[in-house]
């Protein structure tokens, strides 16, 4: 009999009576408890990995999870565990699970939950919480906080389970909410009191739910498909934009077939790079600023018209003023029926899952047009090819230079070669200039291999993403990090070493945020708010935990170090010292910075 079940929750949790899966917990074979039911519910639904950080009231849960065969990846900060869970969700279409303690641990994980919701990544943040009665009366419990209320606005859904017999339903609802329709972050609140609650084992087993068809296909309406195909076939300057929703959908073959069958040029958003190889003849990446304003019909596949696409209006789209619309007609394939018209008119919304929508569109093209489908006019394709050739040649010139000190281009030319030679490697990328230059210089060859700062442009995702990418895929991970970006999550190199993951971190070290040559305009002893310690030895951080640390100052040294990291698969941190004057303010998004042009 589980004795602690009748104790007040907080004292039960704090007495931490049990060791992992100890027989004492289940002394009576006919009984089970909340700890066990949470584990059983997750396992029943195919969850095999937990990203988290132990402490009251979930310490024993992490031990028991590990004992029961779940892989528990324990981090140094919950935010990184949360980012790891969210990107695992993106990569696998299964909700990534982040497990945290109450109040501060929960809040540390909350940024990642909100980021997952914003980016449409399926994730469940499971947090232990304090005693409801005490929290609600604000009587000062250990880590007192009304976590459910705080999580709700940042999550797609939020649930709390108070009784052991409801754990099955709670987990099932969380899974369904995370992955069905538009994926997102879900919060699941598990009060301390729940874990030691004992119930009859058979009743417990019967209360669990194996979720059937968690993300049901959503077939688009035939008239919506027809409207889209009609628009597309009459276009003179059509363009397809692939977003990270298209990458998430794992409809790679059909998406490629649609692009190639129609002959329409396409533009991948950053995390859709590699859905088709960036070297594909129809890629218009190198002609971005030409194709957006010039296109007459744009088909968005899993991409929102948000700030990354200038909200579909203004100069980027050929309009005269920032708020004015361009002349384009839009087709938008999206699982969210509310997405259309969020910024400009969507002439042909196609609501459904991308796999179903793209295959229905392909089928409609085959049925109605068959071999008669006309590729876009040569004029349009030639004009794009001309811009591309020019931009690629310009980029080639920059890449061929070997300046001293090294700059973004000469360093990233090496990363470009390494990814070309190792197309299965996963590239994680964050920073400002370190992000923007990597995006345009480093070609991707396979889907879901580029993971970056996404919709929020958030710094600090790098190490969490790297850990998850290595754990989930077993592939080599290469993380290209600005030195500031790395600082948000750098302590997780210990996690990388502890789990012996094949992660090679390359810090493009320019001594600061955007640049390292900023000064204190007041002239005092304090450095500029944008500057860091000059000549910082980040590689020693990796050495401190038994990994390989290398400082490099030339492309040749960088190449050697990266090749060795990939050969050995050892945790490696390469501190690549680059010209501290090479960056621009906020990288390619200087214009979003209201004071950027007026120095203090």
Task: Please list, in sequence order, all residues whose beta carbon lies within 8 angstroms of the beta carbon of residue 109, skipping any fewer than 6 positions away.
Answer: 78, 79, 81, 82, 98, 100, 125, 127
Residues engaged in binding ligand ADP (CB under 6 A):
119-120, 182-183, 243-245, 248-249, 269, 271-272, 302-304, 306, 308, 334-336, 339, 353-354, 455
Long-range contacts of 435-438 (CB under 8 A, 24+ apart): 435/482, 435/485, 435/587, 436/587, 436/588, 436/589, 437/408, 437/409, 437/412, 437/587, 438/412, 438/480
Partner whose binding site includes residue 302, from ligand OXT, Mg ion, ligand ADP, none (CB under 5 to 8 Å by kind): ligand ADP
- The nearest distance, CB 505 to Mg ion, in angstroms, is 14
- The nearest distance, CB 377 to ligand ADP, in angstroms, is 27
Q: What is the phi/psi pair of residue 305, to 5°?
A: -85, 60
Residue 482, interface with Mg ion (CB under 5 A)? yes
Q: Which residue is it, tokens 């995390």?
A: 271
Residue 587, interface with ligand OXT (CB under 6 A)? yes
Partner whose binding site includes residue 435, from ligand OXT, Mg ion, ligand ADP, none (CB under 5 to 8 Å by kind): ligand OXT
For Mg ion, the binding residue among 466, 510, 572, 575 (CB under 5 A) is: 510
- The nearest distance, CB 226 to ligand ADP, in angstroms, is 19
Residue 454, interface with Mg ion (CB under 5 A)? no
Residue 432, interface with ligand OXT (CB under 6 A)? yes
Other CB atoms within 10 Å distance of the CB of residue 233 = 16
Residue 96, interface with ligand OXT (CB under 6 A)? no
- The nearest distance, CB 493 to ligand OXT, in angstroms, is 16
Number of H helices, E strands in the chain: 22, 19
Our CB check for Mg ion shows the closer of 40 and 483 to be 483
For residues 352 to 391, the per-residue mask of contacts with ligand OXT, x marking binding by CB under 6 A and - elsewhere, is ---------------------------------------x
Our CB check for Mg ion shows the closer of 384 and 558 to be 558
For ligand OXT, the binding residue among 54, 89, 352, 583 (CB under 6 A) is: 583
Our CB check for ligand ADP shows the closer of 131 and 254 to be 254
Residue 416, interface with ligand OXT (CB under 6 A)? no
Check: CB of residue 125 under 8 Å from CB of residue 96.
Answer: no
**What is the rounded CA–CA span in Å between residue 31 and residue 196?**
11
**What is the rounded CA–CA span in Å between residue 78 and residue 99?**
8
Residue 481, interface with Mg ion (CB under 5 A)? no
**Candidate segments 34-42, 149-157, 167-175, 457-465, binder of ligand OXT by CB under 6 A:** 457-465
Q: Which of 501, 502, 477, 463 is nearest to 424 (CA)?
A: 477
Kindly state the DSSP code that residue 62 receives in the 8-state scheme.
H
Residue 130, interface with ligand OXT (CB under 6 A)? no
Our CB check for ligand ADP shows the closer of 141 and 353 to be 353
Residue 513, interface with ligand OXT (CB under 6 A)? yes
CB neighbour class for 225 (10 Å; exposed up to 12, middle 13-18, buried from 19): buried
Partner whose binding site includes residue 119, from Mg ion, ligand ADP, ligand OXT, none (CB under 5 to 8 Å by kind): ligand ADP
For residues 229 to 268, the per-residue mask of contacts with ligand OXT, x marking binding by CB under 6 A and - elsewhere, is ----------------------------------------
- The nearest distance, CB 248 to ligand ADP, in angstroms, is 5
**What is the rounded CA–CA span in Å between residue 388 and residue 370?**
30
Partner whose binding site includes residue 139, from Mg ion, ligand ADP, ligand OXT, none (CB under 5 to 8 Å by kind): none
Check: CB of residue 141 under 8 Å from CB of residue 10.
Answer: yes
Partner whose binding site includes residue 52, from ligand OXT, ligand ADP, Mg ion, none (CB under 5 to 8 Å by kind): none
**What is the rounded CA–CA span in Å between residue 413 and residue 359?**
37
CA 178 → CA 86, 88, 173, 495, distances in Å?
10, 13, 8, 26
Widest distance between CA atoms in the chain: 79
Q: Which two tokens stand for residue 240?
A: 């397809």
Our CB check for ligand ADP shows the closer of 335 and 565 to be 335
- The nearest distance, CB 436 to ligand ADP, in angstroms, is 15
Binding-site size for Mg ion (CB under 5 A) equals 4
Task: Please list, in sequence order, all residues whose beta carbon lies within 8 angstroms of the beta carbon of residue 421, skipping any fewer than 6 positions away.
Answer: none
Kindly state the DSSP code that residue 285 receives in the 8-state scheme.
G
Our CB check for Mg ion shows the closer of 18 and 585 to be 585
**What is the rounded CA–CA span in Å between residue 66 and residue 80?**
20
Radius of gyration of the chain (CA): 26
Residue 531, interface with ligand OXT (CB under 6 A)? no
* Helix then strand then coil, % of the chain, to nearest 5: 45, 15, 40
- The nearest distance, CB 428 to ligand OXT, in angstroms, is 13
On the CB side of 279, CA atoms within 13 Å amount to: 9
Our CB check for ligand OXT shows the closer of 265 and 587 to be 587
Length of the chain: 600
Would you tell me which residues interact with ligand OXT (CB under 6 A)?
270, 285-289, 308, 391-392, 395, 431-436, 439-440, 453, 457-460, 482-485, 508, 510, 513-514, 583, 586-589
Would you tell me which residues interact with Mg ion (CB under 5 A)?
482-484, 510
């Amino acid at each position: 009999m589980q004795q602690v079940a009748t104790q007040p929750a907080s004292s039960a949790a704090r007495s931490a009576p049990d060791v992992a899966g100890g027989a004492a917990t289940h002394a009576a074979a006919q009984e089970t408890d909340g700890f066990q039911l949470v584990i059983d519910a997750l396992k029943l639904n195919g969850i095999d990995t937990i990203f988290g950080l132990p402490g009251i009231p979930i310490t024993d849960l992490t031990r028991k999870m590990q004992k029961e065969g779940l892989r528990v990846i324990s981090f140094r900060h919950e935010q990184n565990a949360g980012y790891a869970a969210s990107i695992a969700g993106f990569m696998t279409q299964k909700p990534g699970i982040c497990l945290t303690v109450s109040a501060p641990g929960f809040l540390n994980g909350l940024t990642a939950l909100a980021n997952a919701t914003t980016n449409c990544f399926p994730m469940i943040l499971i947090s232990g919480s304090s005693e409801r009665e005490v929290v609600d009366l604000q009587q000062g419990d250990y880590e007192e906080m009304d976590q459910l209320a705080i999580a709700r606005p940042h999550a797609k859904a939020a649930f709390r389970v108070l009784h052991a017999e409801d754990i099955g339903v709670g987990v099932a609802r969380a899974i369904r909410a995370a992955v069905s329709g538009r994926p997102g972050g879900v919060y699941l609140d598990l009060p301390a009191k729940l874990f030691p609650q004992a119930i009859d084992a058979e009743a417990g087993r019967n209360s669990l739910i194996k979720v059937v068809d968690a993300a049901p296909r959503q077939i688009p309406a035939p008239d919506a498909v027809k409207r889209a195909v009609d628009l597309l076939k009459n276009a003179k300057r059509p363009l397809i934009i692939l977003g990270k929703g298209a990458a998430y959908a794992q409809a790679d073959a059909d998406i490629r077939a649609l692009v190639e069958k129609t002959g329409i040029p396409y533009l991948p958003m950053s995390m859709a790079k590699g859905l088709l190889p960036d070297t594909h003849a129809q890629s218009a990446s190198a002609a971005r600023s030409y194709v957006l304003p010039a296109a007459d019909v744009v088909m968005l596949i899993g991409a929102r018209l948000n700030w990354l696409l200038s909200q579909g209006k203004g100069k980027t789209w050929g309009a005269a003023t920032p708020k004015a619309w361009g002349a384009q007609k839009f087709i938008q394939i999206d699982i969210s029926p509310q997405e259309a018209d969020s910024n400009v008119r969507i002439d042909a919304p196609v609501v459904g899952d991308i796999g179903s929508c793209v295959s229905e569109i392909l089928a409609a093209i085959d049925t109605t047009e068959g071999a008669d489908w006309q590729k876009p006019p040569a004029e349009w394709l030639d004009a794009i090819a001309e811009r591309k050739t020019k931009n690629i040649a310009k980029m080639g010139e920059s890449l061929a230079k070997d300046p001293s000190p090294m700059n973004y281009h000469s360093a990233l030319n090496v990363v470009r070669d390494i990814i070309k030679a190792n197309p299965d490697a996963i590239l994680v990328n964050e920073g400002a200039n370190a992000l923007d230059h990597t995006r345009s210089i480093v070609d991707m060859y396979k889907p879901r291999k580029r993971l970056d700062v996404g919709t929020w442009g958030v710094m600090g995702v790098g190490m969490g993403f790297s850990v998850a990418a290595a754990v989930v895929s077993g592939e080599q991970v290469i993380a290209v990090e600005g030195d500031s970006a790395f600082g948000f999550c750098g302590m997780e190199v210990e996690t990388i070493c502890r789990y012996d993951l094949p992660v090679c971190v390359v810090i493009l070290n320019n001594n600061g945020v955007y640049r390292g040559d900023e000064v204190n305009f007041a002239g005092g002893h304090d450095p500029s708010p944008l500057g860091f310690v000059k000549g910082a030895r980040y590689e020693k951080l990796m050495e401190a935990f038994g990994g390989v640390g290398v400082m490099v100052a030339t492309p040749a040294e960088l190449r050697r170090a990266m090749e060795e990291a990939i050969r050995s698969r050892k945790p490696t941190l390469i501190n690549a010292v680059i010209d501290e004057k090479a960056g621009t303010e906020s990288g390619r998004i200087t214009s979003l910075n209201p004071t950027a042009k007026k120095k203090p």
